[in-house]
Structure 1
């Protein structure tokens, strides 16, 4: 409910340590620049607790009401929350806005001992702020504790006033003792009087009651009272009494009395040494009153902090630990007695130079809270989530034990990393069907991901699974570049020293991993005879070794040897699981490579058996090439041919049967035989050859589909004398041939459009085109595997071929063919490639040596 302003404030305008502490707590917990404990009267407001006020207000601790927001809290007896004072009509004209930089304000009432609102606990920001519910809840809790302190102070004042009355009565002996007794009773205050000469203690019934004693059990000695003081407080109480006696000054103490029901009662005691200096009549007299109602909220708040599930560590500006709660003790592994009073760096030396120190110093330097996760090593061995909040009094650190969560996350990250490694290994290895290249890739992937160094050993294709015969080192690798040559030398040398006792042979024989957890240098070295192998093993100095077979379909196809040095130590269970997966996948890839080699050798051998050497007429040099596809199943459909007709003309043929397998190779053999048979007779030209080939295929009911080019080199005596040769060709749906002159001019030998491929329509028209060529010209016929790839279309490939031929013009024919294939084809071609090239050498001089011997059929007349 609303009220009026008090006629005077409850305390003078001086800094008070207790209220200063509440102001610091508000500033720290709500992260505001200014926090105040404010008491308001009809004339002014004072700040017994204040942090962050600008000068001169911080020094004077007093302002007129023209600067007071808190007067509204007192009048309304309710909290006042303002996000932006400049737009709030209630305080829009208040001078605190420009003078004290008050923009955002949150104030909660402070009540005195009689329940009347006398001030507020407030948080002030110099910029607009939307106050969170948690902010207001914290401010309310602290205001309750602050009100308790205020009420306690008022009770002390009341007690001091009573004590002053008592001293006055004793000194002047003019006031009746009954009035003093009545005053003490009215104030619910107990009294004590101790004779410092004899140590005899005189107390009234009220003090006995407050101290949990009765008259019958009281002997008149101070020890009777001390026996009921809480064990944690008794030493402090006795020290304060002794200090007052020794200095002749005042006695001031707050302590707990342990009651019979197990509860505690808080008492406040005030006293003073009076009497002659000689000690004859010196006495310590004073009063005691119950402050439990005022202390309970404060103690409850402290208990809440102490029992929080979040660890708390408070430090002053010199990094000295001032507060630790129970959870903080548990996580830190030390009691608060061991921590309080020590600097952070002394109590937690592993903090120095780590993320902890970096983040703590950043918070203090910037004045802003920081949050982070970090690991503290042995002896704590704990992961913590930390929030460090800086303030004028120092740094407050809140931390939570997240070890279980962090370890789970680390395990998940390790699992994900292992899956990424396995995925990369699979991707890398399936990208090649060459065993040695796969082994090289494997060695560089497992080091250093799984081991410090490794050796990959594979078995030859013709050796029985699990046999040590035919083993050879395919790859080795070491994480230390300086040790790679040593690793390679050991990998080669050890094979000559293998016997049935070595872990390699046992891994091959059993198919089970062989593991040496520690001392591997001595154990493995002892399996070899004295000599270079032992010396190399000593230089490598492995601490742990794991040997795994690489399983194939019919048994091991190789061995993966992994080793760690002393720094890395034994393989973890996760390492071994990863190694087993790697071995299984690698074995499958190497087995596939072996099967590919076998199938490719079979198909390629069959393919090459169908291709015969070309004829070599005197004035022509003919070169042929065949490149199988990168995959064994794609071998088989392409062919070339070059032969002479009885009349002396030379036929050049290149073709491609539809399909990529052994069946396509067989079909190619049939079609090639038909073309050779028909073409080996004299005809009018290439088109006639293709027409008769179609007739033969129809008669034989062949289902073959193929593209082909048949070209014929012919010459009259006049053309020969002029150094010219005619090329006539017919194209059945095939890529066009190309002619290259020695100066690099390239002509694409393409008709307006190609005819239909063979095997579709026996009646399809077959047309011819011709061109006259000079001496030195090279004609190239090829299949589509040379120009067509997955990553580019046929037109782009044809343009690339034309440009490459222009660059290679003038080179020897064999060199031109080899370089052309090297530039145009990838390492593993998608399709097989057949190529036939012919160079027209001058006929007015002998056949050049580079063209090789002249080779023509016996029924063909020699040229000239």
Structure 2
């Protein structure tokens, strides 16, 4: 049978532990999980799709589409009806083309009560790799699952697992905040004690303030540089250290994260430290413990001349190096140092150690976000179209991510040939530039759907009218469960027989106007447009327009990220783009797009930017 995974006995203890993981989901509908179920249903074209989490005695369905009653209302299934449990037990995907032909599954009540014949389920895991449940699709008839669909389902399962991990982190943070509020209340009570305890209570308050501040300040960080920037002020109240350093572990090395104002000579030349180096930080990493150097004599006795000279050069005498532990591994080292000999009391050491735990959480979150952003950007790059080769036409595109690269976005470009003409000459070319509302995974998903649907709508409606294709796209969106809003320009370029010239036919759905540079350098905005795409506006009458493109013409299409800036006038921005196109339109297209993007973006852009240029040689 073509399935992935193996049959194993259920471990009730493991199932119980999964049930107790702080995912924050129960046997009720969850909008985010329902969205994943809908995506699976559309992707696989199956009537039933689930986000299923296995508890000790049942499976709950926070994401669900297509189940009959009473299961749909209860949002739960007994384990007797669960195919998801095989995914949880094995930790591997389960792919079943025909459940009735499977010796293990043919007697499952799910076949009788739920009508499950074909099934595919992929594991949903937490950050420790523990399988919590599965993202699955079910069909009521035998089915050979397509490898491409399974690959897309794997991507969706990874996104769903990432969402579950973020919810676990949020639940853990909420629990930690409650602990900190208890500590602050205890410190406030201690401060009101007798005068003879005033000094001790103040020390306790300082420690509690450190923990509270650590939880509040570090919970808001978004990257390693941000974490490092907050450290200097964070530890100012306890012991008043002269220097706080952050070193992140990477294989067998420690990498220092530079802080603000360190150009004054504090570790300027040390960016990477081998794990076997003779230094307190490297020893803390190597031996996985706190390392304390009380004074220079201890430094001389325990370390080599090079380390002594280094700390002498920084003017540091007392050194406390705390390992930063993540949930699964050692993330790095926090170095807290004083220029004068400092006695680190037991309460102070305990407070610094506890605060280092919050630093570790912030570092782990920053590393996770960096990895998540990297994966998101790779996904965005993978979704960009490879430009075709066009006889008699130069074409170039540029995509620039927003400064806030927290997620992929909905900006895109597309270009592809139409079927070749009967005469055997150059094939017509279709180009599109669009922007789906939003800057998240949902916007990217909708963008990918609309791009594919618009291609199909164009190719299904000869003679390939841009306006007809847009109308067909809107008609499909009004029937399908796709909530899409945005703007786009959809155009066809046809070669003129016996001439190097081309003809442009386009339809504009509320998008910024394309710019056409004539052979003499004059730039004309193609301002004709209709309303944007949005279901709330209902079906729109789509018009199209035509322009001749003589040899030497350059056409520029772009998204609003190029021209929209807070406090800036849109017309003035379009005029600036027009001036750049007029002045530099003779440059190679990649250079031209880079020049326009760098001049208009003025540093990191606030939104994604897409530029697409075509030139008739």
Shorter-chain TM range is 0.5 to 0.7
1:505 aligns with 2:285: yes
- Counting only pairs closer than 5 Å after superposition, residues 288-367 of structure 1 correspond to structure 2 as none
Task: Report the CA distance shift for 1:496/1:726 in structure 2 as closer, same or farther (over 3 A).
Answer: farther
1:652 aligns with 2:440: no
The equivalent position to 1:641 in structure 2, one of 414, 422, 425, is 414
- Structure 1 match to 2:563: 787
1:816 aligns with 2:592: yes
- Structure 2 match to 1:54: none
Task: Report the CA distance shift for 1:479/1:685 in structure 2 as closer, same or farther (over 3 A).
Answer: closer
Task: Report the CA distance shift for 1:522/1:640 in structure 2 as closer, same or farther (over 3 A).
Answer: farther
- Structure 2 match to 1:676: 455
How many angstroms does 1:640 deviate by?
Answer: 1.0
SS in 1 for 2:272: helix
SS in 2 for 1:717: coil
Per-residue CA deviations over 1:575-619 (Å, capped at 9, x if unaligned) read 989967975665454333322223223333333333230112122
Per-residue CA deviations over 1:462-501 (Å, capped at 9, x if unaligned) read xxxxxx74542232688783x44xx244553454426999
Per-residue CA deviations over 1:285-306 (Å, capped at 9, x if unaligned) read xxxxxxxxxxxxxxxxxxxxxx
Task: Report the CA distance shift for 1:775/1:456 in structure 2 as closer, same or farther (over 3 A).
Answer: farther
1:523 aligns with 2:298: yes
Q: Distance in 1 between matches of 2:328 and 2:569?
A: 41
Q: Distance in 2 between matches of 1:777 and 1:502?
A: 62
Tell me the C-alpha RMSD between the 2 structures: 4.6
The equivalent position to 2:246 in structure 1, one of 452, 456, 463, is 456
1:565 aligns with 2:345: no
Mapped contact 2:398–2:610 kept (Cα < 8 A): yes
Taking structure 1 as the reference length, what is the TM-score of the superposition? 0.40
Mapped contact 2:395–2:614 kept (Cα < 8 A): yes
Q: Distance in 2 between matches of 1:800 and 1:635?
A: 28
Q: Distance in 2 between matches of 1:480 and 1:501?
A: 21
SS in 2 for 1:545: strand
Taking structure 2 as the reference length, what is the TM-score of the superposition? 0.54
- Structure 1 match to 2:376: 603
SS in 2 for 1:669: helix
- Structure 2 match to 1:626: 399
- Structure 2 match to 1:730: 507
Task: Report the CA distance shift for 1:793/1:478 in structure 2 as closer, same or farther (over 3 A).
Answer: closer
Q: Distance in 1 between matches of 2:360 and 2:453?
A: 45
Per-residue CA deviations over 1:747-773 (Å, capped at 9, x if unaligned) read 32211x433415456742111123334
- Structure 2 match to 1:832: 608
In structure 1, the gaps of 5 or more residues are 1-403, 461-467, 842-864
Structure 1 stretches of at least 4 aligned residues deviating more than 6 Å after TM superposition: 443-449, 476-480, 498-501, 571-582
How many angstroms does 1:557 deviate by?
Answer: 3.6
Number of equivalences: 407
- Structure 2 match to 1:686: 466
How many angstroms does 1:560 deviate by?
Answer: 2.5
Q: Distance in 1 between matches of 2:524 and 2:348?
A: 61
Per-residue CA deviations over 1:358-404 (Å, capped at 9, x if unaligned) read xxxxxxxxxxxxxxxxxxxxxxxxxxxxxxxxxxxxxxxxxxxxxx9
SS in 1 for 2:257: strand
Mapped contact 1:634–1:661 kept (Cα < 8 A): yes
Task: Report the CA distance shift for 1:730/1:534 in structure 2 as closer, same or farther (over 3 A).
Answer: same
Q: Distance in 1 between matches of 2:400 and 2:385?
A: 15
The equivalent position to 1:473 in structure 2, one of 245, 256, 260, is 256
Task: Report the CA distance shift for 1:827/1:786 in structure 2 as closer, same or farther (over 3 A).
Answer: same
Q: Distance in 1 between matches of 2:220 and 2:596?
A: 28
SS in 2 for 1:735: coil
SS in 2 for 1:688: helix
SS in 2 for 1:668: helix
1:544 aligns with 2:332: no
Greater radius of gyration (CA):
1
- Counting only pairs closer than 5 Å after superposition, residues 92-103 of structure 1 correspond to structure 2 as none
Per-residue CA deviations over 1:339-359 (Å, capped at 9, x if unaligned) read xxxxxxxxxxxxxxxxxxxxx
Per-residue CA deviations over 1:35-62 (Å, capped at 9, x if unaligned) read xxxxxxxxxxxxxxxxxxxxxxxxxxxx
- Counting only pairs closer than 5 Å after superposition, residues 582-601 of structure 1 correspond to structure 2 as 583=356, 586-601=359-374
Mapped contact 1:635–1:831 kept (Cα < 8 A): no
Mapped contact 1:564–1:570 kept (Cα < 8 A): no
Mapped contact 2:317–2:337 kept (Cα < 8 A): yes
Mapped contact 2:285–2:333 kept (Cα < 8 A): no
Q: Distance in 2 between matches of 1:556 and 1:787?
A: 45
Q: Distance in 2 between matches of 1:692 and 1:430?
A: 45
- Structure 2 match to 1:757: 533
Per-residue CA deviations over 1:9-60 (Å, capped at 9, x if unaligned) read xxxxxxxxxxxxxxxxxxxxxxxxxxxxxxxxxxxxxxxxxxxxxxxxxxxx
Task: Report the CA distance shift for 1:669/1:480 in structure 2 as closer, same or farther (over 3 A).
Answer: closer
Q: Distance in 2 between matches of 1:714 and 1:453?
A: 67
Task: Report the CA distance shift for 1:583/1:555 in structure 2 as closer, same or farther (over 3 A).
Answer: same
Task: Report the CA distance shift for 1:593/1:833 in structure 2 as closer, same or farther (over 3 A).
Answer: farther
Mapped contact 1:453–1:563 kept (Cα < 8 A): yes
Per-residue CA deviations over 1:114-152 (Å, capped at 9, x if unaligned) read xxxxxxxxxxxxxxxxxxxxxxxxxxxxxxxxxxxxxxx
Q: Distance in 2 between matches of 1:610 and 1:453?
A: 45
Mapped contact 1:709–1:730 kept (Cα < 8 A): yes
1:748 aligns with 2:525: yes
How many angstroms does 1:716 deviate by?
Answer: 1.9
Q: Distance in 2 between matches of 1:445 and 1:492?
A: 24
In structure 2, the gaps of 5 or more residues are 1-194, 422-426
- Structure 1 match to 2:497: 717
Mapped contact 1:726–1:771 kept (Cα < 8 A): yes
SS in 2 for 1:497: coil
1:662 aligns with 2:441: yes
